[in-house]
């Protein structure tokens, strides 16, 4: 009846698009999250509501639904339980090792820098306020402080002198995920730009999407565009580094590999073993999009090629209030100029929460960006 049964651990907007891609291929989808009626649950066959950090609840859900593929879509997961489940024969995407390493910045950074020799910024891991202050003296100022476990830039800040490091540590701990009070203090890279290189590990080899540029605010993505401008030498360096780390992690699926571009250096920053938020632009910018690529790679289906459809951009639609009974206005106006709007149908708004995205083509990346930003600005939440 079904091609395969997949279980999503995390059911936000990225999980929603994965579920849609999987349903189009005839999969049975089980959506799991800590709250009910999450976006992916609305387009899935079944749902389970529990904390992904609750290993016993995670095991119970797996044993109940018996998925062919367990697909982590968020960072806050009991990765130890995923390792146990994989050892028992359950398939974790792309692998329990990849999830365990990449869910924590200390794991993936040490793996990339120490084991694989990728180009990274200088960094130190710290476990207390005093250690953070001491690390600043070693790394130098300004420096970036991030919790080792977080998402969407939460807990990230820049310390410009020793006096700001204590507050940066406090902010990192207050916004971390999980129960480990640990942060990374790293060199501030005066980069020219930053990109996401969506990298697909398939049974036929590694493939790359056209590079995606993006702008962040408070550590969270606000706009992204495709293709990002970069030299052939820089692109080759990024692709070689991305392939090296993806192949070392093992398994199949799409990885979001982030780089800082500084001069003629592509500097490895972070990696997510799943579709990336900046890759929302691929919903309009390329075929197959990142979510379709992820599902195809997981299921072992062919990917003949990845085709860019032209200069494209995305801009997020943010909430400005907290509400549980709300609607939207301005959607029709936003689409009049040819832009597309994707609303995530989250059941609750919070100030600054990502509620949707506007997508646009253009004669150039700059024109696409202007159209996407203008469209996003027209969509408002109303009570």
CATH value at residue 142: 3.30.1490.20
Is 76 found in the same domain as 58?
yes
What's the mean per-residue pLDDT of the chain?
Answer: 94
**Is residue 250 in some structural domain?**
yes
Q: State residue 170's pLDDT score.
A: 93
Residue 355 C-alpha from the chain's centroid: 16
Average pLDDT over residues 55-84: 95
pLDDT at 217 over 90: no
pLDDT at 294 over 90: yes
Distance CA 326, CA 355 (A): 12
Of the candidates 104, 159, 114, the residue with the CA atom closest to the CA atom of residue 133: 159
- Residues involved in catalysis: 151, 153, 258, 270, 277-278, 354
Give the domain extent around 160: 122-187
**Is residue 112 in some structural domain?**
no
Of the candidates 292, 239, 310, 232, the residue with the CA atom closest to the CA atom of residue 268: 239
pTM, to two decimals? 0.92
Is residue 261 left, alpha or beta, with left meaning phi > 0 and alpha meaning psi from -120 to 50? beta
Place of tokens 């938020």: 277
Of the candidates 40, 8, 42, 45, the residue with the CA atom closest to the CA atom of residue 26: 45
pLDDT at 178 over 80: no
Q: How confident is the model at residue 331 (pLDDT cuts 50, 70, 90)?
A: very high
Distance CA 257, CA 275 (A): 10
Q: State residue 189's pLDDT score.
A: 86
Is 159 found in the same domain as 46?
no
pLDDT at 151 over 70: no
Q: How many domains does the chain have?
A: 3
**Is residue 114 in some structural domain?**
no
Q: Tokens in use for 233?
A: 């030498």
CATH code of the domain in which 333 resides: 3.30.470.20
Q: 154, 187, 220 — which closes off a domain?
A: 187
Q: How confident is the model at residue 103 (pLDDT cuts 50, 70, 90)?
A: confident
pLDDT in tens, 231-258: 999 999 999 999 999 999 999 999 999 9
């Amino acid at each position: 009846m079904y091609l395969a049964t997949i279980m999503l651990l995390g059911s936000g907007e990225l999980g929603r698009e994965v579920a849609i891609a999987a349903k189009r291929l005839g999969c049975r989808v089980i959506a799991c999250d800590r709250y009910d009626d999450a976006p992916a649950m609305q387009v899935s066959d079944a749902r389970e509501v529990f904390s992904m950090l609750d290993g016993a609840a995670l095991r119970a859900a797996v044993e109940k639904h018996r998925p062919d593929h367990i697909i982590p879509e968020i960072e806050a997961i009991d990765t130890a339980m995923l390792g146990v489940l994989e050892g028992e024969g359950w398939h974790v995407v792309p692998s329990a090792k990849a999830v365990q390493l990449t869910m924590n910045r200390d794991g993936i950074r040490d793996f990339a820098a120490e084991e694989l020799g990728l180009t990274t910024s200088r960094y130190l891991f710290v476990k207390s306020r005093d250690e953070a202050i001491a690390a600043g003296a070693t790394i130098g100022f300004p420096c970036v402080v991030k919790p080792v476990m977080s998402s969407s830039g939460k807990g990230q800040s820049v310390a410009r002198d020793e006096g700001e490091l204590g507050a940066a540590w406090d902010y990192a701990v207050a916004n971390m995920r999980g129960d480990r009070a640990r942060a990374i203090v790293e060199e501030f890279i005066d980069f020219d730009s930053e990109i996401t290189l969506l990298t697909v590990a398939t049974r036929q080899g590694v493939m790359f999407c056209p590079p995606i540029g993006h702008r962040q605010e408070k550590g969270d993505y606000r706009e992204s565009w495709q293709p990002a401008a970069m030299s052939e030498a820089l692109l080759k360096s990024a692709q070689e580094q991305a392939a090296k780390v993806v192949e070392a992690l093992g398994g199949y699926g799409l990885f979001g590999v982030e780089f800082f571009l500084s001069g003629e250096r592509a500097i490895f920053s972070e990696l997510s073993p799943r579709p990336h938020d900046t890759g929302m632009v691929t919903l309009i910018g390329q075929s197959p999009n990142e979510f379709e690529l992820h599902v195809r790679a997981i299921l072992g289906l062919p990917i003949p090629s990845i085709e860019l459809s032209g200069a494209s951009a995305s801009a997020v639609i943010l909430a400005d209030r907290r509400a549980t009974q709300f609607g939207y206005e301005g959607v029709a106006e936003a689409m009049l100029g040819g832009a597309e709007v994707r609303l995530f149908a989250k059941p609750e708004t919070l100030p600054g929460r990502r509620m949707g995205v506007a997508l646009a083509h253009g004669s150039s990346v700059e024109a696409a960006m202007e159209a996407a930003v203008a469209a996003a600005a027209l969509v408002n939440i109303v009570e």
